Amino acid sequence: MDLTKQFFKYVSQNIFGLLGTSCYILADTYFIAQAAGTDGVTLLNLCLPIYNFIFAIGSMIALGSATRYAIAKAQNDARGQRYFSNAILCAVLASIPWMLAGAFVPGALLRFMGGDAGIVALGIPYARIFLLFTPFFMCNYIVSVFVRNDGDPSLAMVATLSGSLFNVVFDYIFMFPLGLGLAGAALATAVSPIISIAICSRHFFKKENTLQFVRQLPSARLLGQSCQLGISGFVGELSSGVTTTVFNFLLLGLAGNVGVAAYGVVANFALVATAIFNGVAQGAQPLVSRCYGQNDHAGARKLLLLGSGTVLVLAAVLYAAVFGLTDTFVSWFNSENSVQMAQYAHTGMRMYFVGYFFAGFNIMAAGYLSAVNRPAEASITSICRGMVAIVACSLVLSAVFGMPGVWAAFPASELLTALLTLFLLRRKESGKA
């Protein structure tokens, strides 16, 4: 199979898998909106940054370790086997503080995220359950990425979609027929990664499997090597959490809980959009790393161009859908028919999603730079888009333009990052010339 066909095979399957992961959050939001109205959507949006941080840690360990493994495999280096075992062990250790927070201080965590007394009381059972299942969220990310990098992207996609389908179906069953409310939504979300891990485990019984679990103590050295290449994945996931947290506090000041609920609608659809572009970057990563490991620089550059073109086309399709169906999308999560929330969310959707014309390229480019073992440049792109630019733009634009400034901060920050990223890529190419 030629490189172009491999690219579209890996990317398409990875997009579908990550779409499944993000769509179960949409399902959570929809069912919670029906059960608890605006307060329920506000609660979920305050919890999203916590999800993002957990996924960011899992992403950093998983993508970095799997990239190191893919490069070692291409170079016939048997030491690459240690990265899989170390990733699992380190993820379990990294989960412990989150489990302790879920067991003992979920209310304090929700208050820290900006929840008032009513939101905290509503959200304690939800937060406690999903935090206690943190190891499964992180390990699911790791197992899925390694299975994909070991040449089985179809199984990784099926596993992810199956876990997401379970979550959607049992969201409804647990919340309504069984009457568990928000605790039921959290329980369905918590069990879904276990389903995905179980399905992915089939790969370890196939003759094509080259992954092995090596008995070893957790290695800080291997973790550090992995995190160097996983930082773009970490910041990519964390950027959603940083954006959500900053926007939540700004919108609480500008419009109260209704503003946060409106942003909750925007943020949930933004998760789906981000999953699409992460699917392109992560789907291309095993192929780029293999080309890099085999010193095929022309092949790696071809994959960068294919990825960049793909994300621009997807961004255009995505924005057309959002622009044409804005009112429909907003109505799904506005069970109380709040006119104010609908107005805020309508404006937010149409302004915010312009940013994905630039964000898609930034995500793809950061993934490429990590896959070719250029962690410093990948980190610059990721940190700029994920923290520096978004915080600066949101604070400045909201102070000048109010709520429209908040919505405009995302496209402005991604545009600035895209210009920086183009400079980094062109500087590298010029250096080679």
Query: Between 215 and 404, whose confidence is greater?
Result: 404
- Asked if 183 and 125 touch (Cβ cutoff 8 Å), the reply is yes
Which one, of 7, 15, 1, lies nearest residue 305 by Cα?
Answer: 7
Q: What is the mean pLDDT of residues 88-114?
A: 94
pLDDT of residue 428: 59
Which one, of 254, 224, 157, 242, lies nearest residue 196 by Cα?
Answer: 157
Q: How far is CA 46 from the centre of its chain?
A: 16
Least confident segment among 73-77, 88-92, 107-111, 342-346: 73-77
Q: Residue 88 contacts by C-beta under 8 Å, 6 or more apart in sequence? A: 139, 142, 143, 213
What is the spatial distance between Cα 347 and Cα 342, in angstroms, rounded to a whole number? 9
Tokens at residue 161, please?
Answer: 């979609």
- Asked if 153 and 14 touch (Cβ cutoff 8 Å), the reply is yes
Q: Residue 420 contacts by C-beta under 8 Å, 6 or more apart in sequence? A: 380, 381, 384
Mean pLDDT of the chain: 87
- Tell me: the pLDDT tens digits for 289-321? 889 888 898 999 999 999 999 999 999 999 999
The DSSP symbol for 80 reads: G
- Tell me: the pLDDT tens digits for 138-154? 999 899 989 988 888 88
Query: Between 149 and 133, whose confidence is greater?
Result: 133
Q: What is the band of 232 on the pLDDT scale with cuts at 50, 70, 90?
A: low
pLDDT of residue 346: 93
Residue 180 — φ and ψ, nearest 5°? -85, -10
